[in-house]
């Protein structure tokens, strides 16, 4: 559905700062290359603590981070072959969560029916993905498609972030191109114009015209000279629960949002840049260019966003009844979508209960 792009006052739906997630999607929880064989990491997806481990065969498994014996955090244990052993009594659980061994029981003795919840898990694009909802729905869903991942002519830069804020605030920041004012000292973008806005049941798509100028714009290939202004279309798509952004002919961004709790969020992003160099020159330079962007460019923009996002969260917590006014219709559309997805999940969960209770 096509939406109006007029910038006019609209009331913010404050309860969007309280809603939960629709868990029936794949959520990114970490970088796959950082979890080695025999290692365990604890992750949190909307207040669900999950222990992720890589077994002796290199396969990933995800279990509820609580031993069904005493409730001890399983991520404090150890990987033994293909199993995860609780640190307290050594009870071992396989990748499906079944108790398969208790070291102080005789071999012929029957094991108790102790089972830890297991989660569908996969690694793709060097990202670990977990499906925290109904596991029977996992096959029908897929993580975002990232066709740029294997394109050698592009420079890929991974970056993660941590926010002390509700995921809705983080999501609005990503959609809100009008906040270029915040980044003006970093030679960010300016004079944005909302050109189009579309909404579906599970996605919001906005197109902006944005102007760039300065040494940063020249470095990123947005313009040939630092003193000239270049105006380009920027497409921002929120495909619940993640983002895709493209700057025509220059770069693209895939941003995977991880809601941790009502006041904490994380993100795992992959930037792709087109560099005006032949591949045979670009490939050996990629580590250097990636390091430069990670040290001198991207973290500075991100730090400014984090400060604003966390300030917004703290103000909300201090007075949840405070009223706010928004003029960007894309932000209002994002709020509707977040609330709608959560309400749909809650309705489906209610209908799946016996007698609808």
pLDDT digits (tens, 9 = 90+) for 48-75: 999 999 999 999 999 999 999 999 999 9
- Whole-number Cα distances in Å, 347 to 10, 22, 85, 341, 350: 27, 11, 37, 10, 5
119 & 189 share domain: no
CATH number at residue 227: 3.90.380.10
Domain membership of residue 352 (yes or no) is no
For strand 190-199 and strand 2-3, is the pairing parallel, antiparallel, or unpaired? antiparallel
pLDDT confidence of residue 132: 98
42 & 190 share domain: no
CATH number at residue 79: 2.102.10.10
Domain membership of residue 349 (yes or no) is no
Domain membership of residue 13 (yes or no) is no
259 & 293 share domain: yes
Cα–Cα distance measured from residue 34 to residue 325, given in angstroms and rounded to the nearest whole number: 42
82 & 194 share domain: no
225 & 111 share domain: no
Domain membership of residue 198 (yes or no) is yes
pLDDT confidence of residue 355: 58
Domain membership of residue 269 (yes or no) is yes
Please say which residue of 108, 137, 166 terminates a domain: 137
- Whole-number Cα distances in Å, 4 to 50, 65, 325, 332: 42, 46, 17, 12
pLDDT confidence of residue 356: 46
131 & 161 share domain: no
332 & 220 share domain: yes
Question: Is the pTM here over 0.85, yes or no?
Answer: yes
Those residues of the chain that have pLDDT short of 70 are: 219-221, 354-357
| Total number of domains in the chain | 2
Cα–Cα distance measured from residue 168 to residue 160, given in angstroms and rounded to the nearest whole number: 17
42 & 188 share domain: no
110 & 162 share domain: no
Cα–Cα distance measured from residue 253 to residue 269, given in angstroms and rounded to the nearest whole number: 7
Domain membership of residue 309 (yes or no) is yes
Domain membership of residue 18 (yes or no) is no
Helix axes 167-175, 298-318, angle to 10 degrees: 130
Range(s) of the domain holding residue 117:
27-137
38 & 118 share domain: yes
187 & 123 share domain: no
pLDDT confidence of residue 349: 85
Domain membership of residue 112 (yes or no) is yes
pLDDT confidence of residue 107: 84
pLDDT confidence of residue 158: 98
132 & 253 share domain: no
């Amino acid at each position: 559905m096509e939406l109006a792009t007029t910038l006019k006052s609209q009331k913010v739906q404050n309860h969007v700062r309280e809603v939960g997630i629709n868990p029936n999607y794949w959520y990114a929880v970490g970088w796959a290359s950082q979890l080695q064989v025999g290692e365990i990491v604890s992750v949190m997806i909307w207040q669900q603590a999950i222990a992720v481990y890589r077994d002796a065969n290199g396969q990933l498994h995800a279990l509820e981070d609580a031993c069904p014996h005493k409730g001890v955090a399983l991520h404090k244990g150890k990987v033994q072959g293909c199993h995860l052993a609780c640190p307290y009594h050594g009870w071992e659980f396989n990748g499906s969560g079944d108790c398969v061994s208790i070291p102080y029981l005789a071999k012929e003795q029957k094991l108790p029916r102790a089972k830890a919840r297991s989660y569908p898990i996969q690694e793709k694009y060097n990202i670990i993905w977990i499906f925290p909802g109904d596991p029977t729905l996992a096959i029908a869903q897929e993580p975002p498609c990232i066709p740029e991942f294997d394109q050698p002519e592009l420079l890929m830069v991974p970056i993660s972030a941590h926010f002390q804020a509700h995921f809705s605030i983080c999501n609005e920041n990503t959609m809100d191109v009008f906040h270029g004012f915040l980044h003006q000292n970093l030679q960010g973008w300016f004079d944005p114009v909302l050109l189009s806005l579309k909404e579906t049941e599970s996605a919001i798509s906005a197109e902006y015209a944005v102007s760039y100028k300065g040494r940063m714009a020249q470095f990123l290939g947005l313009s040939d000279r630092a003193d000239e202004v270049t105006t380009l279309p920027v497409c921002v798509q929120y495909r619940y629960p993640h983002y895709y952004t493209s700057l025509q002919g220059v770069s693209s961004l895939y941003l995977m949002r991880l809601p941790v709790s009502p006041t904490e969020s994380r993100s795992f992003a992959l930037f792709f840049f087109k560099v005006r160099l032949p591949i045979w020159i670009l490939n050996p330079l990629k580590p250097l260019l990636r390091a430069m962007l990670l040290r001198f460019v991207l973290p500075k923009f991100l730090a400014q966003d984090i400060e604003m996002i966390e300030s917004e969260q703290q103000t909300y917590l201090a007075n949840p009844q405070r009223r706010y006014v928004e003029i960007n219709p894309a932000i209002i559309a994002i709020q509707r979508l977040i609330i709608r997805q959560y309400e749909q999940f809650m309705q489906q969960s209610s209908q799946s209960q016996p007698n609808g209770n």
